[in-house]
Amino acid sequence: MATNITFHPGSVDGPERADLLKQKGVTVWLTGLSASGKSTIACALEQHLLHLRKFSYRLDGDNVRFGLNKDLGFDEKSRNENIRRIGEVSKLFADSCCIAITAFISPYRADRAGARELHEKAGLGFVEVFVDAPLQVAEQRDPKGLYKKARAGEIKEFTGVSAPYEPPENPEIHLRTDQCDVAESVRIISEYLAQKGFI
């Protein structure tokens, strides 16, 4: 761990930044099984918010592994570190008054709680969205063919098949994506953000 470091505050604090940009930062954390609809909803939500002229940015689980997290695997320790890093990155985005939208399986409650705590300690908003599709529905969708490979033993430690997924116990938003479509999901999240004063 680095020890010879000192935090250097900027000349603009959080409230002044929010006032100047006319927007408060928040992280919308989408969690759920592979093929539950996280990435699809995140893309649509980002587009909707940008069309409202709201500074928004999407962090996608697969995309981040092409760069920032390309050194990580899918064992439990790597998954923990993956989410720790994204918790920190999304906090930076939220601190800049961005609406950060994360789409990560993030299977462990403790890791999601850690991301929430980072935001809360910094006085930043954190909205956990459980993108909930029953396993059988996710397997039927299987757009990347990952469940088929996992069932065949070609992918080890695959969430929902050979690795656990711990569903949120008290998410701010619970989307049943076997019962509502993408447009409805975006509407539900947007209404919540509006109620909380983020848009």
The predicted model gives 155-163 an average pLDDT of 93
The predicted model gives 161-166 an average pLDDT of 95
The predicted model gives 154-163 an average pLDDT of 93
Residue identified by tokens 């939208």 is 101
Q: How confident is the model at residue 3 (pLDDT cuts 50, 70, 90)?
A: confident
**Mean pLDDT for the chain?**
96
Positive or negative: CA dihedral 98, 3, 70, 130: negative
Q: pLDDT at position 77, please?
A: 95
Q: What residue ranges do the domains of the chain occupy?
A: 30-196
Q: pLDDT at position 4, please?
A: 87
Instruction: Could you please state the CATH topology (level 3) that the domain comprising 30-196 is classified under.
Output: Rossmann fold (3.40.50)
Given a contact cutoff of 8 angstroms between Cβ atoms, the answer to whether 173 and 191 are in contact is no
C-alpha of 137 from chain center: 21
Q: pLDDT tens-digit profile of 96-121?
A: 999 999 999 999 999 999 999 999 99
Q: pLDDT tens-digit profile of 67-84?
A: 999 999 999 899 999 999
Terminal-to-terminal C-alpha distance of the chain: 38
**1 pLDDT exceeds 80?**
no
Residues taking part in catalysis = 106
The predicted model gives 159-179 an average pLDDT of 97
Length of the chain in residues, anyone?
Answer: 199
Q: How confident is the model at residue 189 (pLDDT cuts 50, 70, 90)?
A: very high
pTM for the structure as a whole:
0.95
Q: pLDDT at position 117, please?
A: 98
